Structure 1
Amino acid sequence: MPPKTTTTTFITTVLLLLTVTSVTPKSTIEPCSTNNSCTALLGYTLYTDLKLSELANLFQTDPINILSINSIDVSQSDVVSHILPSQLFLKIPITCSCVDGIRKSVSTRYKTRPSDTLSSIADVVYGGLVSADQIKEANEIDDPNVLDVGMSLVVPLQCACFNGTDNNMPVVYMAYVVRPVDTLAGIAVRFKTTVTDVMVVNGLGGGDDVEDGDILAIPLSACASNFPRHAFDYALSVPSGGYAVIANHCVQCSCTPGSRLYCQPASMSVSCSSMQCKRSNLMLGNVTVQQSSAGCNVTSCDYGGFVNGTIITTLSSSLQPRCPGPQQVPQLIAPPIVVSPDMVSAPPTPASPDMVPAPAPSPFQLSGAPIDSLPGSVVPSTSSSLVFPPSANGPSGTSSRACTLVNPLSSFSLAMVLVLFLKVMFPFL
């Protein structure tokens, strides 16, 4: 029979573990001191079935840009009304600005609905990409428990630019919310980068690991343009595996093998200005080759930017050692109607064969969820004015960790169940 003191000590230890505070989400913050902006990405998982137009409205971005960056075919009829399935993981393009010395996007606004709370908006609707405290601060809300229906809230979403480079190579940065099953190695493999790069970008030490709710800046390899500064799409950078639809939806550009930006007429282009190169029969994206004893003469009609509403095309010729093959562009997929394992943010948890998945809750149902039933996500305030210039060899950010209390009610309930169980097992207590 175990000594009473030993059992009592065990119970006390368990109770302490259930009621102590836990260290939760850390986030990567990029200090800044200039007014320039960049196109960044958000890694977002749909919390319910949403029309493409609803998703675009959630982030105030172009629905065609959402599809193209994820290599989803935009040419299908009525694609904006297509319903995207719950739990689908997508990259969402946003404009990342410098506000109060911190990189973030402030172009997103959310209109409150009945039963919304700051926590449900932050943790459910926006998937932990922002915290309730950040929304409260950005909107100068005195009482977070009182939200009028129809309020227009600024949603300050985390993002990063880091000069659009990583190890002197062009990249686009994506804010990614870590899921319970994620590891640094798994994240690196999924997004075709390295553990070292993820650690350096996010200021992680050798002993650091990622936890559920952490927000990491993930460098995605990209192709950078060299359009003139006066072009509307100056400094365009397209991540590998996706497209950018530009010039009033007339041109689509992708990152081909060899990190070369390749642009061609968009599949949905209508009423577009001429895309034929002057003094040539070649159209935008066309290439001719002619083998010679000295090599291969290659002539191409390239995109030169969108200037004053006009598509600029340039004819270029070069002598190459060998003739190039056909352009290899990312494969387009049909707008998804179901979620396959490779379309979610993390590997799904194995389920029993006889388990039937429950239908996705509606936005109204989720918005009305009580605070203590939602996952916690508290990230540092973004009002800091500290500025640290990025290093010459890559990004330099700060990784901050904030604390939140474990739900005391749920902890108490678990403790009572444990005590009752031990009372039955050890009646001498």
Structure 2
Amino acid sequence: MPPKIHTGVDLTLIAGVLILFIITGVNPKSTIEPCSNNDSCNALLGYTLYTDLKVSELAALFQIDPINLLAANSIDISYPDVESHILPSQLFLKIPITCSCVDGIRKSVATHYKTRPSDTLSNIADAVYGGLVSADQIKEANSIADPSVLDVGQNLVVPLPCTCFNGTDNFLPAIYMSYVVKPVDTLAGIAARYKTTTTDLMGVNALGNAAIEDGDILAIPLSACSSNFPRYASDYALSVPNGGYAITADHCVECSCTSGSRLYCQPASLSVSCSSMQCKTSNLMLGNVTVQQSSAGCNVTSCGYGGFVNGTIITTLSSSLQPRCPGPQQVPPLTAPPTVVSPDMLFAPSPSPSQLSGVPVGGLPGSVVPSTSSSIAFPPSANGPIGSASNACGMVNPLSSFSLTVVLVLFLKVMLPFL
């Protein structure tokens, strides 16, 4: 006679373990966006400095323009010798990158890293790049057979996460930032910090619940202002997140997102040898706006930016009659390059104009604010990103939906004889 099997406690324990296993397995370690075209978009990486770095060193780490790096974080680019300024360890910054479609997945592959003595793939992934990539991803991207053997000076491709989602979130312009979850983070806290909702973050990242873990990579939508430059412009589809700047036209023009959710562009502080920025048939320069009150309303004339075409800055003059003269609008305040890290600089993004007393938009004498006319406006709405993300990156999160199905089937096969 076979021994009696005590199933009650054992099966209850097994069921509990499996349920816990399944629940904790739905959290993504990385959000990837499938793609089928060659279009690219502006994207951001949320990055915490692992050591003190010069602005130029940090820019080289991600192979981006140092000026674009500073502008994205509303740091004054006219600061003396700003590219040699040393940024403090543990400073949180937004890194502007271009997100491209590579082998059917949205990612940035323009970043390369030259190995140093004592480097390991884990150190490069976790420390140098702050968990934005895994050791396995670097190993696969570079076809490394033995990860314990790295040559000093070896040039490694570092695949970094990014998403585009049509440049929209809930049908409004947005730029997505890849963010590495920290031990103190909660989904509700992240949502509040970046002016979004828990529901939106769950939808964007295909989360089954609001539970997140240290090291997870989330795509966070940041409200943005989009351009309507012609497709033949070199800065076509330029988009700027709220609270930051973008430098374009060979460092001649800087654009920001005003509190009225409109793209506002003006001459950059570094502009020296630039093409004309004066609107034709007018004495207005780029970014200038004049208003004139009349009995019929307010006549508003503005000189806007229309893109950078064949080395020429395109300006557009627009006039409109508005019921009332527009009030003062503000652009994000510029700050000096940080030398120390305060608690509010560890995780928070650059403030939006509505969060701080921004800098009023200036211009020629008698000029006041950027126009709210259609010279610079939003592009047509596109489909939102909800449901566009896959559940996880297989190299980082090995528990896929297929493996969950197998676990459930095996569990049922074990349970059915005892039901």
Q: Which bracket does the TM-score occupy, shorter chain normalised?
A: 0.7 to 0.9
| Residue 28 (structure 2) pairs with residue 28 (structure 1) | no
Show CA shifts across 1:246-274 (max 9, x none). 10111000001221000000111111111
Residues 138, 158 of structure 2: 8 Å contact kept: yes
Match of 2:325 in 1: 323
Residues in 1 aligned to 2:337 and 2:128: alpha-carbon distance in whole angstroms? 22
2:183 is the counterpart of 1:191:
no
Q: Does residue 89 of structure 2 align to residue 86 of structure 1?
A: yes
Instruction: Please name the residue that 1:156 is paired with.
Output: 159
Equivalent position to 1:54, from 48, 57, 72? 57
1:129 partner amino acid: L
2:344 match: secondary structure: helix
Distance 1:75 1:225 in 2: 25
Could you tell me which amino acid in structure 1 is paired with residue 278 of structure 2? Answer: Q
The answer on whether the counterparts of 1:72 and 1:335 sit within 8 Å (CA) in structure 2 is: yes
Aligned residue in 1 for 2:142:
139
Q: CA deviation at 1:398?
A: 1.2
Match of residue 175, structure 1, among 174, 178, 193: 178
Is 1:213 matched up with 2:197?
Answer: no
Sort the Cα spacing of 1:49 and 1:290 in 2 relative to 1 into closer, same or farther, 3 A. same
Give yes or no for contact 1:25–1:212 (8 Å, CA) kept in 2: no
CA distance in 2 between counterparts of 1:213 and 1:221 reads 24
Find the aligned partners of 1:198 and 1:56 in 2 and give their Cα distance.
29
Q: How does 1:294-309 map to 2 (within 5 A)?
A: 294-309=296-311
- Percent of aligned pairs sharing the same letter: 78
Tell me whether 1:223 sits opposite 2:215 in the alignment.
Answer: no
Give the match for residue 3 of structure 1: none
Query: Which residue does 1:278 correspond to in 2?
Result: 280
Contact 1:32 1:98 (C-alpha < 8 Å) held by counterparts: yes
Cα shift readout 1:258-306 (whole Å, capped 9, x = no counterpart): 2100000011111111111110010000000000111100000000100
The residue type paired with residue 397 of structure 1 is A
The one of the two structures with greater contact order (alpha-carbon pairs below 8 A, sep at least 6) is 1
Q: Which runs of 5+ in 1 are unaligned?
A: 1-15, 347-390, 405-429
Q: Which residue of 2 aligns with 1:125?
A: 128
- Cα distance, 1:403 vs. partner? 5.5
Partner of 1:77: 80
Q: How many angstroms apart in 2 are the aligned matches of 1:393 and 1:77?
A: 42
Return the alpha-carbon distance in structure 2 between the equivalents of residues 288 and 95 of structure 1.
Answer: 36
Q: CA deviation at 1:394?
A: 2.6
Equivalent AA in structure 2 for residue 69 of structure 1: A
Find out whether 1:107 has 2:98 as its counterpart.
no
Q: Which residue of 1 aligns with 2:375?
A: none
Taking the aligned partners of 1:100 and 1:232, their CA distance within structure 2 comes to 25
CA drift of 1:83 comes to 0.1
Contact 1:71 1:333 in 2 (8 A): yes
Contact 2:168 2:383 in 1 (8 A): no
Aligned 8 A contact 1:50 1:83 in 2? yes
Taking the aligned partners of 1:35 and 1:132, their CA distance within structure 2 comes to 27
Instruction: Give a deviation string over 1:202-258, Cα, whole Å, max 9, x none.
Output: 0012x3411100000000000000001100100000000000011011100000122
Give the match's secondary structure for 2:330: coil
- Report deviation, 1:344: 0.4
How well do the aligned residues superpose, as a CA RMSD in angstroms? 2.1
The alignment partner of 2:331 has SS state of coil
Q: CA deviation at 1:345?
A: 2.2
2:270 maps to which of 250, 268, 274 = 268
Task: Report the Cα distance in structure 1 between the residues aligned to 2:295 and 2:385, rounded to whole angstroms.
Answer: 43
Per-residue CA deviation, residues 38-82 of structure 1 (Å, 9 max, x unaligned), is: 111000000000000000000000010111011000001110000
1:397 corresponding residue in structure 2? 389
Q: What amino acid does structure 1 have at the position aligned with 2:67?
A: I
Mapped contact 1:25–1:213 kept (Cα < 8 A): no
Structure 2: which amino acid aligns with 1:125?
V
Give deviations 1:159-210, integer Å, cap 9, x for gaps: 00011011110000000000000001110111111111111100012x3411
Number of the residue aligned with 1:418: none
The whole-number CA distance in structure 1 between the counterparts of 2:153 and 2:94 is 28
Which range moves more in the overlay, 25-34 or 328-337? Answer: 25-34
Whole-Å Cα distance in 1 between the matches of residues 319 and 301 of structure 2?
A: 4
Alignment check: 8 A CA contact 1:111 1:153 kept: yes
Paired residue for 1:257, among 243, 256, 259?
Answer: 259
- Residue 292 (1) aligns with residue 294 (2): yes
Q: Secondary structure at the match of 1:153?
A: strand
Match of 2:13 in 1: none
1:345 counterpart residue number? 347
| Structure 2 gap ranges (5+) | 1-16, 349-381, 399-419
Alpha-carbon distance in structure 2 between the residues aligned to 1:338 and 1:100: 41
Q: Distance in 2 between matches of 1:224 and 1:160?
A: 16
2:409 corresponding residue in structure 1: none
Q: Secondary structure at the match of 2:392?
A: strand
Matched letter for residue 183 of structure 1: T
Specify the alignment match of 1:10 in structure 2: none
Q: TM-score, normalised by structure 2?
A: 0.79
CA deviation vs aligned residue, 1:334-392 (integer Å, no higher than 9, x gap): 1000001111027xxxxxxxxxxxxxxxxxxxxxxxxxxxxxxxxxxxxxxxxxxxx93
TM-superposed CA distance for 1:25, in Å, is: 5.9
Partner Cα separation in structure 1 for residue 211 and residue 275 of structure 2: 52
* Alignment-derived partner of residue 237 in structure 1: 239
Q: Give the secondary-structure state (helix, strand or coil) at the position aligned to 1:302.
A: strand
User: For residues 126 and 400 of structure 1, what CA distance do their matches in structure 2 show?
Assistant: 19
Q: Which amino acid aligns with 2:193?
A: R
Q: C-alpha distance in 2, partners of 1:90/1:140?
A: 31
Aligned to 1:365: none
